[in-house]
Amino acid sequence: MSFSLLAWIFQKMLKDVVLGNVMFLGVFLHASRILLNTSAGASRFKDFLLAVLISSYFKIFLVAMMVWNFPSSVIYIIDLVVLSSNTVALKVITESAMNRILGVCLVAHAVKFFVVQGLELRYLRY
């Protein structure tokens, strides 16, 4: 494997991870301000960030997928478990209605999914 190919793969992976997660957090915070009528203070931002970080602990199973041979559909199952964990964490923090919280989490996860898939399509063209 050449160094340029390795650098290209690393750059692609880094763009997917960084851009997808930045878009997820941005949409998550913006949608929670709009749909849940929460304040935008620094302490509230820290609470949301901590809740998302802790409730996304199921993503550690993606590391196991690199070691053991799992079907690729397991990624989507893990994403569903993370979505439900994020929903419960946001429910505990905001004490808002479940349909609004589910809307915030679904919008944020959908944006992340479409950004990562859009980057995949862009890389497939080249």
pLDDT tens for each residue of 12-68: 777 777 888 888 888 888 888 887 776 666 667 788 888 888 888 777 777 776 777
Indicate left, alpha or beta for 2 from its phi (over 0: left) and psi (-120 to 50: alpha).
Answer: beta
Q: What average pLDDT does the segment 72-85 reach?
A: 84
Note the pLDDT of residue 78. Answer: 83
Residue 10 pLDDT more than 70? Answer: yes
Question: 70 or 93, which is more confident?
Answer: 93
CA end-to-end distance (rounded Å), the chain: 19
In 3D, which of 9, 11, 29, 33 has the Cα closest to residue 21? 29
